[in-house]
């Protein structure tokens, strides 16, 4: 019983720490690993897009997409971190990330949250306000990408594809949508996912790396890729370290920007 209580308290502590302050609509919460990657269920769902999926595709047509894989190399402390993005299973989330990399949004941004105690959790960054060294550290984690075309913050929908599904579930956690299958992309060590607030469609530019498997957040936050090389670099990141440069090195032909 004591062990169960300790785990429950730890989960509350972690989730609370990842919901960054400011306004409730700001894209700042966080997630980490949750489902069982070893699970091999073979679920057969309808192969044809549902009306909801078609509507979602039309609704988010103003957002960039990645139709396939792409590789991003992020340099921190002079060392490279190689990330493989999965636009097959998270086209909007991965496309948004590629677009921001292409725009240079992440260059110079700070990692404002690093959680390793009481056990390893995440390294989070991507708040554009962090590019200003004079911006108050306490307020980092409340900002998102301001699209110069609209002069408003670009937000993307929560996008999670369940195993066996033809299309991702949008704007709902899998539990809210009544989906019992596990996500295709789980929060194993080295996952890259979008941070958000309580609103499912509040993610913008903030992302996080998982430092370990944290399955209790699978199905609630959008994983869109995995670190292929450089976890040793991520393991040494401290709050205040900056992204020196982020570059798309492969797969740009799969990127579909908004025209």
pLDDT at 51 over 80: no
Residue 141, Cα to own-chain centre: how many angstroms? Answer: 14
98 DSSP assignment:
H
Residue 61: pLDDT band (50, 70, 90) is confident
Residue 158: pLDDT band (50, 70, 90) is very high
Kindly report the pTM of this predicted structure.
Answer: 0.82
For the chain, which residues make up each domain, given as ranges?
2-36+52-256
User: DSSP strand E in the chain: where?
Assistant: 65-66, 69-76, 79-86, 111-115, 122-125, 146-147, 152-153, 159-160, 169-170, 191-194, 207-210, 223-229, 243-250, 255-256
SS3 244: strand
SS3 138: helix
What fold, for 2-36+52-256?
Answer: Cyclophilin (2.40.100)
Structure tokens that stand for 75 in this block: 């340099």
pLDDT at 217 over 50: yes
pLDDT at 130 over 50: yes
Residue 207's nearest CA partner among 152, 126, 138 is 126
Q: Are 149 and 103 in contact (CB under 8 A)?
A: no
Would you state the pLDDT for residue 194?
98
pLDDT at 230 over 80: yes
Distances in Å between the Cα of 229 and the Cα atoms of 214, 234, 249 are 20, 10, 14
Distances in Å between the Cα of 158 and the Cα atoms of 51, 109, 169 are 18, 23, 8
The stretch 207-229 carries a mean pLDDT of 98
215 DSSP assignment:
G
Residue 112: pLDDT band (50, 70, 90) is very high
How many Cα atoms sit within 13 Å of 177 on the Cβ side? 23
Q: CB under 8 Å to 116, separation ≥6 — which residues?
A: 211
Number of C-beta neighbours around residue 65 at 10 A: 23
Structure tokens that stand for 81 in this block: 């971190």
């Amino acid at each position: 019983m004591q062990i169960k209580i300790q785990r429950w308290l730890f989960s509350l502590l972690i989730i609370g720490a990842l919901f960054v302050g400011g306004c409730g609509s700001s894209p700042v919460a966080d997630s980490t690993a949750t489902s069982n990657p070893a699970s091999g269920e073979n679920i057969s769902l309808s192969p044809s897009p549902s009306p909801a999926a078609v509507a979602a595709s039309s609704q988010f047509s103003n957002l960039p997409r990645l139709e396939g894989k792409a590789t991003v190399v992020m340099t921190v402390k002079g060392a490279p971190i190689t990330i493989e993005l999965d636009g097959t299973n998270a086209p909007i989330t991965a496309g948004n990330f590629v677009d921001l990399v292409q725009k240079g949004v992440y260059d110079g941004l700070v990692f404002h949250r690093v959680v390793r105690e009481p056990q390893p959790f995440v390294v989070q960054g991507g708040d554009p306000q962090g590019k200003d060294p004079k911006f108050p550290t306490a307020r980092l984690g409340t900002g998102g990408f301001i699209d110069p075309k609209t002069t408003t913050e670009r937000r993307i929908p929560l996008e999670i594809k369940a195993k066996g599904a033809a299309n991702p579930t949008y704007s709902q956690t899998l539990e809210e949508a009544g989906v019992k299958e596990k996500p295709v992309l789980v929060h194993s060590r080295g996952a890259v996912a979008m941070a958000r607030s309580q609103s499912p469609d509040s993610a913008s530019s903030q992302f996080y790396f998982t430092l370990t498997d944290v399955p209790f957040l699978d199905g609630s936050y959008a994983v869109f890729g995995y670190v292929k090389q450089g976890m040793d670099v991520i393991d040494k990141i401290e709050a205040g370290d900056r992204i020196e440069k982020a570059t798309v090195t492969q797969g740009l032909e799969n990127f579909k920007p908004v025209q």
